[in-house]
Homo-oligomer: A and B are copies of this chain.
């Protein structure tokens, strides 16, 4: 078996199918899958908190979930934003190591962990697909570390906007006109900056005609080459 990007995409698709039940109906696991349920979250509502026992894995159906950790004095680091199709809880062994909060109204499908265990034992390829997804998430997280540890504020923001643009393009949407559903404070906590610095960097990119802001949550990328060269230093 050759493993490449297509394999991963296929794993993502199959995974979504498995977890939302379309795959499973035809198997002996139909019973288990009827136990999955949807959960609707309002803006700022939490899916779970750091330290909670982990009972489920979640498939994001719509909206955006932010995963974060806090320091004692309130400093926050958002480790990832989870979009529709993403799976939440792959970093979880026994208890949640992050808190998960809906940034906007969101819907998730809840899969009990014992259902996951059962799928691993009984569905050929499921465990492998889960492993590929987790490996991909690990690789992405380490890419982020490069941003956090070694890039300047503007480089961080450019990198962030590019990652959203690429995600958009991968989903068949326009990669040049992107939607940024999170607030400045959430971007700041993701990039290890303050809201003021994020705002100033947006202004800098605006003034240099690299981006155009239709509104605070709609960014048009005017000069993709320049954005990429800023992002890579």
Contacts and interface: CB of A to CB of B under 8 A. Distances in A.
A1 B117 contact: yes
Interface in A1-39: 1-5, 7-8
Contacts of A172: none
A71 B94 CA distance: 36
Given A69-B142, A91-B139, A138-B138, 20 more contacts: A1-B114, A3-B93, A69-B146, A71-B151, A71-B232, A72-B233, A76-B150, A77-B145, A77-B149, A79-B142, A79-B145, A91-B138, A92-B139, A93-B136, A97-B143, A127-B128, A131-B134, A134-B135, A144-B145, A149-B192
A91 B142 contact: yes
9 contacts: A1-B114, A2-B94, A69-B143, A69-B146, A71-B150, A71-B233, A79-B142, A93-B132, A93-B139
A128 B67 CA distance: 24
Interface in A83-99: 90-94, 97-98
A3 B135 contact: no
A176 interface: no
A90 B145 contact: no
Contacts of A143: 69, 97
A47 interface: no
Given A5-B94, A72-B232, A138 B145 contact: no
B76 A139 contact: no
Interface string A145-159: 110111100000000
A73 interface: yes
Contacts of A128: 120, 127
A195 interface: no
Interface string A114-130: 10010010000001101
A221 interface: no
A92 B76 CA distance: 29
A136 B92 CA distance: 7
